[in-house]
Amino acid sequence: MDSILKKVWIFLLIFTGMGLVALVPFDKYQRAYMKEFHKVKSAPQKRVNAAYTYVEKVESGEIGETSEQNPPQVKKRIRYVQPNPRHRKPIYIRDKNNPKILHPYQG
């Protein structure tokens, strides 16, 4: 009886240790992960630096006011693509005898 209990304890300890090792995030400390992490972490700081350099250039006169620059080109008319109603199949068809009843189109 003691030998079986001892084997069960050893079995549980081994698999508990393996489970704890599985919880350790090894991928977090890989070089590719750390490189991507630092790149994502530095993105907001790059935007702040770009904003400050833009303001400094405007104040120094390197970049003029927006009236001197070309305004962005915008399309005046936006066309939405709509299907041609002649080629679109109906979803429902009205009943011949009672127009309040709708039947699904099967065609």
Nearest-5° angle of CA 52, CA 43, CA 49? 10
Residue 71: pLDDT band with limits 50, 70, 90: low
On whether the pTM is more than 0.75, the answer is: no
Model pLDDT, residue 12: 95
Decide: 102 and 94 in contact? Cβ < 8 Å.
Answer: yes
Q: Cα dihedral angle (14, 18, 23, 27), rounded to 10 degrees?
A: 160
Model pLDDT, residue 19: 92
Give the pLDDT confidence of 21-42 residue by residue, as tens digits: 888 887 777 888 888 888 888 8
